[in-house]
Amino acid sequence: MDKIVAVASGKGGVGKSTVAANLAVALANGPDPKKIALIDVDFYGPSIPTLMGGGELKVDGEERLIPALKYGVKFISIAFFLQNPDDAVVWRGPMFGKAIHQLFHDVNWGDVDICIVDLPPGTGDAQLSLAQMVQLQGAVIVTTPQEVALADVRRAIKMFEKVNVDVLGVVENMSGFTTPSGEQIDIFGSGGGEELCETYNLPLLGKIPLDIAIRKGGDIGEPIALSNDSASAKVFADLRDSLLEQLASKKSEQPALKIVN
């Protein structure tokens, strides 16, 4: 794996997994397609298989897992290992590190240009284990505009600073809703993402609107980033381009993770 990027948030319910899945799909299907891996380490609320429309794990000749593959994205999630999709993952902290290690090292990923890691909310075991285990190229922070989300996001930014992980930028999700008549309604407020970026001198990578098509795409496992005629798909394409610009400015000499096939 050449580059590993965490998609994180301090607050649950801000659409972090939706952003991670659509960003991965946009990277894999852009004008310069990348070899993309998507790893779901949100063990308590794994939603990547739903967002990606399901999938199937296989085993290679060396008894290593072969990740699911859809829309040009290789992906894996703890959800694939649950007997019932509604089962709860009831783990103590130390289990996170072991599971994250297995998702990286016990899976035959092959060649990967960029690995997107969908983190759980908060600033706990999963975040610390990942930062200590692999060389993160950086983190993308997802927030919504209102203060109740921004307060937790500020804590997440501080956490990444403490573990020496660069924050590549901020994505403001649920950034206003446009009615059929064209009226713009800021359901969750406005300007929060810009204010956060000004405070911490970070780039605003994108502003994603509240769009029914994004929700529908997630529910049926067809990410909106695949669409050719959607305004929201264009937003994710712009987000992809902004992320690639940030990654290009942070060139590293060593791969983030050496995968042995």
* pTM of the shown model: 0.92
Residue 77, beta-bridge partner list: 40
The pLDDT of residue 232 is above 90: yes
Token pair listed for 261: 């096939």
Residue with tokens 């713009």, as numbered in its chain = 184
Residue 47, phi-psi category: left (phi > 0), alpha (psi -120 to 50), beta (remainder): alpha
User: For all residues of the chain together, what is the average pLDDT?
Assistant: 90
Residues 223/51, Cβ–Cβ less than 8 Å: yes
Task: In whole angstroms, give the CA distance from residue 231 to residue 181.
Answer: 16
Q: Which residue has the higher pLDDT, 83 or 155?
A: 155
Residues 41/2, Cβ–Cβ less than 8 Å: no
The pLDDT of residue 103 is above 70: yes
Helices 125-133, 147-162: inter-axial angle, 10-degree rounding: 40
Q: In order of start, what are the domains of the chain with their CATH numbers?
A: 3-248 (3.40.50.300)
Q: How many CA atoms lie within 13 A of 112 on its CB side?
A: 31
The pLDDT of residue 252 is above 70: no
Q: What is the 3-state secondary structure (H, E, C) of 210-230?
A: ECHHHHHHHHHCCCHHHCCCC
The pLDDT of residue 256 is above 70: no
Q: In whole angstroms, how large is the CA radius of gyration of the chain?
A: 17
- For 98-115, what is the mean pLDDT? 94
